[in-house]
Each structure stands twice: as C-alpha cells, then as structure tokens.
C-alpha cells in the first residue's frame, strides 16, 4: 500500500485512501483522564476518523510512573489509585463524543499494539514505549504538547526528544526547545485548534463589559496566585468590576466572594466567555493553552502572559494584551486600562475574534494529516 501511494504521489491521506486502502493511525495516551492534552488527541483522532482514516487510541492499564510515584509512599499510593481507576472505569468516558476505538492494553508493548501506518506518542513516557515497538506498529511520531519536566526527571523528558521519531509540536517555542535539546528539527509546528462550532459569541447571554473571567488550577505554574493579586489591585481601582472563575475544583485560595463555576460543560463555558468583557490568562508556562483561544472565539478581550502558543496566535496590542509571566502589576494595568477604555476593549475583542478564526480545528487537522503523510513518505 505504501509503495503504491508513493508512486501515485497523492496529496492527502483521503485521496490515497480513497483509491487504495484505509490509512491506519494509532495514538498512544499515557492515561485516560480529561486533561488539555487528552482533549487535543481526541480532537485529532475524531477529525482524522471523519476524513476516512482508521484510528485507534491506546492507553495502558498499568499507569506510567510520573514524577515521584516510584520513589515515595504518597507517589506510590497515587499510582495505585490510578490503577484502581483504570480497573473501575476501563474505556468509559463521557467528556467527548468520540467515535474511534479506545483500547486499554496491559502495557504499551508489541504484543498489544496493532499494525498501523503511523503511531503517535502523546507524552514523554509514551515516546520511549513507542520507540521500542516493531516497524509493523507504524512510522513513529511524537506529538510534543509541553516541556513536561513537572511530570518526570528533566534528563528523561529531554531524552525523549532524542529518540528517532518525527516530532510534531504545538507551539513555536517547543520547536526551538527540541532543536536545542536534541539537534533535531520538528517535522511540523501545529498550534492547537479551537472548536469554532462550540465557542462563538453566545447571543443568549448579555456581555458584562466589567466582568473579568479567569480559570482556576491548583498547579502553581498556572499562576492563579498572580491573577488573584492582580485582581486585588483592579478591585481597588475599579470597584464596580467583578471577577468570575471556573475550574475542575474550587480551591481554598479562592476568595469566598468570587463567583465560581465547578467543571462547567462546554455550553456553560461558552456562556461564561460570552458574558465576560475580559479574560485573564496567568500561566508561567504552557504548551499551547486553549482557554485564551476559546475566549477570543467568544468575543472576549484577552489579557495573557507571553507563554505557550500566545506568541503564535496573538498580535500583542492588536488582538490581545500580552504581559510577561509573574508580572502582576502588568496584568492589573492591562485590565484597568481596558475597563477604563471601553472602545479599546471592544476593538481588541473584535480583532481577537477575527484572528482566532484562522486557528479552527479543521485547519489544525488538515496540517496534522499533511505532516503524518510526509512522515510516512506518502508525500514530499
């Protein structure tokens, strides 16, 4: 099949598959939990399936030993907890309307992984497992979604970039990182997409121009403490403004007078973006975070730290206000300026809304499909 496709020089998988055979694509997840990285994999798997490809997603029953899990008692307990969750939940998930097979295997190894044309590791430990698979598992790719040093030893994380696999990265900064760490050039830089059919200005809610929206996470590098400190300054200068937050859980550090939405569904989240005038993104580091993109798609003016994909999908001062990580004063000044200049807030929101239309999932899936095709040698 590969030889025939190479001879024909078809330009898309669908063109090749329509004439010869279905293309087999495997994704390997490190776990089945609802994280941003898993969501991205689901979007690609779902989109490639809809284009006519045969897609399978694998994840291991025996969890990978992230971070301190092999070395401390508390870490080992978390590992056992993940194993128990796998045994109880197995392949059942309710987060995403996925129409491709989810397969739980004892571990990511050759007896359990089927034949394919392409196999894609999606996190640093899965890259090592995929690299050891035989050629019949498919041409090997590593979808790099972050510099995952919080989840493993830096030497092991950086070592995954030196494996003989095609690298697809989700932001320009990761391409530069991989070249510095391994001397290899990424096959493609493909920013995450935003679901424009889900995230758009919701006319069923009223925009509150003085409402600020922020995502909560207990992870320190998400910068929530910085955002709350900035909010203290904003509230003192603009007492008629209000802060609304959302996240998987309400942390103890969230002030009691702040409206909080726990684990909102996509419809509710669209409403939150659409009813807010400003979205604040506070991270110290990211791969290519989705919430600022979703906020822009919903017509919300964005203030974001200069990390992850923000330099790729924003034009500072035109489509978003961009400050450096940890710059609490800069965050507060940007928000106050928007609160005091409604026409500029609207201009920023409108420009951001138009800009982000270039970053829909359809465009991302097309580029991802093209990168896979180049990697397995079906197209120059």
Q: Where are the beta strands (DSSP E) in 42-184?
A: 54-60, 102-105, 118-121, 139-144, 166-169
Give me 116's structure tokens: 């394919």
Distance CA 42, CA 99 (A): 9
Give the Cβ contact number of residue 257 at 10 Å.
Answer: 8
* Among the ranges given (88-97, 103-112, 286-295), the one the predictor scored with the smallest mean pLDDT: 88-97
Structure confidence at residue 16 (pLDDT)? 52
Burial 322-331 (b: 16+ CB within 10 A, else e): bbebebbebb
At 171-197, the pLDDT tens digits run 999 999 999 999 999 999 999 999 999
The answer, yes or no, to whether residue 380 has pLDDT greater than 70, is no
Domains of the chain: 2-193+361-375 (3.40.50), 208-359 (3.40.50.2000)
Q: Which of 6-10, 94-98, 207-211, 364-368 has the lowest mean pLDDT?
A: 6-10
How far apart CA 347 and CA 310 sit, in angstroms, is 19
User: pLDDT tens digit string along 338-367?
Assistant: 999 999 999 999 999 999 999 999 999 999
Using CA atoms, how far apart are residues 17 and 203, in angstroms rounded to an integer? 41
Question: pLDDT averaged over the chain?
Answer: 91
What pTM does this model have? 0.86
Q: H or E element: which one contains 276?
A: strand 276-281
Residue 41: per-residue pLDDT: 97
Residue with more model confidence, 226 or 74? 226
**Nearest of 314, 323, 319 to residue 352 by alpha carbon:** 319
Q: Which residue has the higher pLDDT, 174 or 10?
A: 174
């Amino acid at each position: 099949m590969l030889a025939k496709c190479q001879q024909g020089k078809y330009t898309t998988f669908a063109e090749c598959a329509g004439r010869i055979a279905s293309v087999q694509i495997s994704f390997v997840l490190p776990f089945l939990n609802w994280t941003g990285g898993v969501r991205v994999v689901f979007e690609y798997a779902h989109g490639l399936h809809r284009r006519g490809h045969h897609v399978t997603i694998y994840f291991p029953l025996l969890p990978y030993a992230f971070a301190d899990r092999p070395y401390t008692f508390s870490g080992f307990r978390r590992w056992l907890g993940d194993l128990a969750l796998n045994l109880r939940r197995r392949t059942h998930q309710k987060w995403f309307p996925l129409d491709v097979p989810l397969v739980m295997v004892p571990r990511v190894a050759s007896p359990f992984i089927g034949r394919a044309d392409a196999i894609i590791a999606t996190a640093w430990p899965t890259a090592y497992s995929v690299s050891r698979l035989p050629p019949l598992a498919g041409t090997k790719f590593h979808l790099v979604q972050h510099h995952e040093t919080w989840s493993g030893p830096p030497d092991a994380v950086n070592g995954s970039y030196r494996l003989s696999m095609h690298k697809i990265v989700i932001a320009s900064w990761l391409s530069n990182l991989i070249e510095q760490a391994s001397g290899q050039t990424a096959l493609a830089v493909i920013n995450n997409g935003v679901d424009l059919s889900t995230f758009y200005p919701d006319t069923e809610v009223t925009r509150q121009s003085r409402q600020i929206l922020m995502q909560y996470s207990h992870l320190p590098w998400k910068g929530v403490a910085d955002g709350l400190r900035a909010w203290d300054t904003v509230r003192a200068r603009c007492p008629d403004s209000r802060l609304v937050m959302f996240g998987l859980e309400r942390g103890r550090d969230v002030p009691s007078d702040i409206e909080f939405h726990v684990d909102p569904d996509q419809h509710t989240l669209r409403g939150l973006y659409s009813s807010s005038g400003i979205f604040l993104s506070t991270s110290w580091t990211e791969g290519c975070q989705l919430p600022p993109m979703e906020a822009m798609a919903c017509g919300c003016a964005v203030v974001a730290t200069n990390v992850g994909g923000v330099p790729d999908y924003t034009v500072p001062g035109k489509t978003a206000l961009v400050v450096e990580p940890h710059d609490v004063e800069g965050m507060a000044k940007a928000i106050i300026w928007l609160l005091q200049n409604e026409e500029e807030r609207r201009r920023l929101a409108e420009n951001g809304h138009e800009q982000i239309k270039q970053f829909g999932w359809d465009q991302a899936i097309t580029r991802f499909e093209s990168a896979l095709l180049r990697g397995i040698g079906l197209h120059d």
